[in-house]
Amino acid sequence: MAPQGPRGLDADIGGLTFALSDAFARVAPAVSTSLGDPASIRRWTDLALGLAERSPGVAIAFIEASPAVLEDLPVAGLERWVNQGRSLIGGGWRSARLAMSYFDNGAALLGLVPVTALDHLVAVVGLLSETAPEIAAGCIREAPAALADLNPGDREPFLRLLESVTRGSWADTDRCLERTPALLGAVEPAFRPGLLELASSLVEQVGPGAFRLFTEAAEALAAIAAGDRGDVLGSARRLGASDAEAAVEYIKSAQSVRSRLSSEQERHWFEAGLGVLDEPDGSARAVSWFRLESVGSLEMLASLAGRVELHDVGSVLRLYAEALSGTQVLVQPRDVLVRRRIGWGSEGGSTTDGVSIFLPSAVDTFGEHQANFSVYKVHTTHQAARLEFGSFRFEFDADGEFLASTSVRREADVDNGRRSVSPGRPPMRRYFDLFEDRLLISELFAVVEGTRIDARASGEYPGIRNALRRLQDHEAGARPDVEAMPLRQAFVENLQRASLGRRDLMRWPADKADQLASAVTTLQIVERRGATVQDSAEVAAILYDAAASLPNVPPRESGGGWSVPGDDTGGTHPPPGATSAKRHPGASVEVPFEPPPQPGHRGEFKPELVQLLATMADQGEDAFGRCLARQDLEELLAGCRELAVSDNADGDEEPTLDELLDNLQSEASERAAADTDEEGTRESNGDGSDGIEWYRYDEWDYRAHDYRPAWCALGEQRAQQGGLDFYDDTLRRHHGLVVETRRQFERMRPESFRRIRRLEDGHEIDLDEAIQFHADKLAGAGPLARFYSRRNKIDRNVAVALLLDMSASTGEVIGEHNKRIIDVEKESAVLMIEALEAIGDAYGIYCFSGEGRENVELSVVKELDESLDDRVRMRIDAIEPVQATRMGPAIRHVVAKLDAHDAKVKIFILVSDGRPEDEDYGRDRDEREYAVHDTRRALIEAKRLRIEPFLITVDSEGHDYLGQMCDDIGYEVVTDIEALPRRLPRLYRYVASE
């Protein structure tokens, strides 16, 4: 007999809708069975009736969900669950739908978490019900699946986090619900509570944006080695109690820091960062410290790890390279070469393009600073030796010092027509075309030539021997596992180990020991004193014949056990001129040949590409058009194994072939143009119209009260040349002003006299000193009669640097004469030149612009020690608006030039049309204070160097920010822009007379 409800039940529901009555009738038996006692059944009925008064639809959802819910929910929790759902019923139909959905999903939710935990989910839905009802509904629908993906112990903390995120930024709610289970699942269960605790601290301390930081922290923690996660998370929780954002930055940096420091060193660095929190603005400083954007943080890391940065030692290495090679050589970061996109990839250690040397941006190979500086010296020595000892001067069919050339005979053996012959082939390309496997021969040639250069450098520069030997040992010990390589690849790898002086690390099948012994003996030819690149080519050809005879089969099929070859490598190399051996006939499972990596100090070696660039530059544009048409060049490049080229037109890492062609032609033209100009040759590095030389500068983060080290890349180049018309027209239009200005400046010459006081004789009596003398005499002090003065003429010794803003906004047309701001700046520069030439002060003129922190442009119109000529006048004509106004790096660069110039008085003048700004000149796009503070800091740095800065702006609102930016630094707001040519010389006369 089915259980009956309490007396009066029928009367209670009689007035309800048919749907509600039907639902009640259907579930009443099951509910009665679950609840059992009449009091509980009566209470359930009352709850249903109470919901029906608010919304019959919600009551139906509750009634229909009850049988399944009561399987997991104790009677004591029933009322709490109903109240949760009731709280979602507002005044509209959307809120009723939310409550219905909540009851519909009740069984799934209560099967995963206790009813008390659902308070957090209900709070989330309630918060979203008005502002984002669709997200609120999605939370109810998706919550069961999200909770099911979590361990039971993580579910309620997750719901607490979801509520906190919603209260901080409801826009992050759906992302939190969707992503958090996967983020937690990526780390071990033991670490998830700590990660959730950090997330809660983030929400509490940061508010909007906290979930993004939590995501970054969780992903970074998952990427850390499993054995380190516990320590990292423990330190992060400790830090997070004071500053959760700094804790996130610590987790993100931890893997990099731990790869460079021991555990004890890392602890010292962490404690120092923790101590930063106690300083003024400690939060911002700590974030910068653990983000590795603080000078203090990076200096401590470098000190602990012995890391050496190229921007700190680049100038020393350049002088070192010039001393070795006897010519001017640029030393630059490798990424400068990569950015030119002319065939060099982002990997590969040090390298050279035949003109400059490119090195890693930092070295931390060893744990000591001096040892790592020696690594830089070895890298520099090897690349300089390539330039000095002819690595790129290979000539086809020229004999070596020890081996005669076999190139012509090999070429005759190549089947006619089997390879196309491109016009203008560089000798290296013609040499590589002799061999069927171009990748194999190019790698063997790199090994052999690297061996020769190391041996030559060691012989010519005894001071580098110990450092070279130590680095060779280190690099040999870090080589890939040779016994896991296919046979031909292992052959090349063993030669690489032999070339590094570590034959004890070679491994090779015992039954093929004679082949390797003979190859090593052949390699030793290029270690002889006097060996040339021609010898390297012949040795590489001999080794190619030996390698080609080996099947490139996996090690398990190579036959025989692998062991260390005997020391008695007394085999003889094959006679020069031996024909290429045929491939192994039984090689049925050969795999493609993949070259082992080159040692870091040898890096990418691209002799064919360097020769091609040199040939294109030597021919010049006219000859290039005849000898190397674009189609011929494309054919040459198509077979070149040295190029880093992408098949994807949208690829960012490597250029497409068409882009590469354009870049190479541009590069060759620039080199040719530089070679025709003695001055250009002195400065060019092949990366700009007359050569771009890249520098890195710190940037001041006022929030962190610290510099962001090497934050900005500034490229300096000669300004383009226009015509003489602008300069001459300016002189004609302002003839009267030019004459007046020259006359005023010539009057400054008397200021070149200095009064010498307290003399026993002179031209004038100093009245103050005379009165003091008589007073002392009356008092019986008996002073000497030193009350004369004399004006001694001294040489005027003043240098001024004028920095002009050429940002895009200077293209604006102003005034009744419809002139652009940039044209008014240029006219002012012309008048300054005429005035300064009259007085004889040293002066330099520079222009700046930029687009982001990695591309600040500085154009040199005239250097401080450069004479005025027509080239300078023509450069002024070519000044045009470019991009944005990142002032800090440009000021620092020009101030550095002034600091290096020998003058007693040094003046820096900046002319701009507005406040400093750039696309990433701050922590976010809308921050304007950051740029002002960095510019102000750059001006303070100038004052500390005893350089007098002065700012001139034509921005009518300039007082708003110049007052803050300049403080005690002089500035002038020229509201009448067209008056700038008249005002600028007068302002200089005022500043220079101070």
Q: Is residue 907 predicted with pLDDT exceeding 80?
A: yes
**Per-residue CA distances from 242 to 201, 236, 359 (Å):** 9, 10, 41
Q: pLDDT tens for residues 478-514?
A: 999 999 999 999 999 999 999 999 999 999 998 888 9
Q: What is the pLDDT of residue 829?
A: 85
Residue 482 is given by DSSP the state G
Q: What is the pLDDT of residue 639?
A: 62
Determine the 3-state secondary structure of 245 from DSSP.
helix
Q: What is the pLDDT of residue 405?
A: 94
Q: Is residue 957 predicted with pLDDT exceeding 50?
A: yes
What are residue 847's DSSP bridge partners?
804, 859
Q: pLDDT tens for residues 350-367?
A: 999 888 899 998 898 888
DSSP conformation letters of 624-684: HHHHS-HHHHHHHHHT-TT----S-TT-SSS--HHHHHHHHHHHHHHHHHHHT-HHHHHH-
What's the mean pLDDT in 526-547?
96
Class of domain 725-747+797-993: alpha beta
Q: What is the pLDDT of residue 577?
A: 41
Q: pLDDT tens for residues 556-613?
A: 776 667 888 865 444 444 444 444 444 444 445 788 999 999 999 999 999 998 988 8
**Per-residue CA distances from 985 to 736, 737, 859, 862, 977 (Å):** 14, 10, 22, 18, 14
Place 653 in a pLDDT band, splitting at 50, 70 and 90: low
Measure the CA–CA gap between 707 and 437, rounded to whole angstroms: 52
Q: What is the pLDDT of residue 845?
A: 94
Q: What is the pLDDT of residue 682?
A: 35
Number of other CB atoms surrounding residue 639 within 10 Å: 15
pTM over 0.75: no
- The owner of tokens 């509904």 is 137
Place 960 in a pLDDT band, splitting at 50, 70 and 90: low
Cβ distance 913 to 848 under 8 Å? no
Q: What is the pLDDT of residue 388?
A: 93
Lowest mean pLDDT among 229-238, 769-778, 874-883: 769-778
What phi and psi, each to the nearest 5 degrees, are found at residue 811? Answer: -80, -5
Q: What is the pLDDT of residue 115?
A: 92
Q: pLDDT tens for residues 831-871?
A: 888 888 877 788 999 999 888 888 899 999 999 988 888 89
Q: What is the pLDDT of residue 393?
A: 94
In sequence order, what are the residues at sequence separation of 6 or more whose Cβ sits closer than 8 angstroms to the Cβ of residue 364? 260, 305, 306, 307, 308, 372
Q: What is the pLDDT of residue 348?
A: 64
Q: pLDDT tens for residues 287-298?
A: 989 988 888 888
Q: Is residue 684 predicted with pLDDT exceeding 50?
A: no
Q: What is the pLDDT of residue 367?
A: 81
Cβ distance 833 to 726 under 8 Å? no
Q: pLDDT tens for residues 695-722?
A: 889 888 887 778 888 888 899 999 988 8
Measure the CA–CA gap between 688 and 678, rounded to whole angstroms: 16
pLDDT over 70 for what percent of the chain? 80
Q: What is the pLDDT of residue 787?
A: 66
Place 759 in a pLDDT band, splitting at 50, 70 and 90: low
Q: pLDDT tens for residues 259-279?
A: 888 888 899 999 999 999 988
pLDDT over 90 for what percent of the chain? 27
- Which of 70-74, 288-292, 985-989 shows the highest mean pLDDT? 288-292
Q: Is residue 726 predicted with pLDDT exceeding 70?
A: yes
Choose among 251, 305, 238: nearest CA to 277. 238
Q: What is the pLDDT of residue 341?
A: 82
Q: What is the pLDDT of residue 580?
A: 41
**Per-residue CA distances from 911 to 915, 934, 980 (Å):** 11, 17, 10
What's the mean pLDDT in 397-413?
91
Cα torsion through 126, 131, 137, 142, rounded to 10:
-90
Place 13 in a pLDDT band, splitting at 50, 70 and 90: very low
Q: Is residue 534 predicted with pLDDT exceeding 70?
A: yes
What mean pLDDT value characterizes the chain?
A: 81
Measure the CA–CA gap between 617 and 493, rounded to whole angstroms: 36
Place 379 in a pLDDT band, splitting at 50, 70 and 90: very high
* Residue extents of the structural domains in the chain: 9-305, 428-608, 725-747+797-993, 751-793
Q: Is residue 958 predicted with pLDDT exceeding 60?
A: no
Measure the CA–CA gap between 791 and 757, rounded to whole angstroms: 9
Lowest mean pLDDT among 685-699, 724-738, 813-827: 685-699
Q: Is residue 659 predicted with pLDDT exceeding 80?
A: no
Structural tokens at position 899: 């600091």
Place 417 in a pLDDT band, splitting at 50, 70 and 90: very low
Three-state SS sequence of 81-137: HHHHHHHCCCCCHHHHHHHHHHHHCHHHHHCCCCHHHHHHHHHHHHHHHHHCHHHHH
Place 691 in a pLDDT band, splitting at 50, 70 and 90: low
Alpha helices of 483-582 — where are they, by DSSP H?
A: 487-499, 513-523, 533-548
Helix (H) or strand (E) holding 459: helix 438-460
Q: pLDDT tens for residues 457-472?
A: 999 999 999 999 999 9
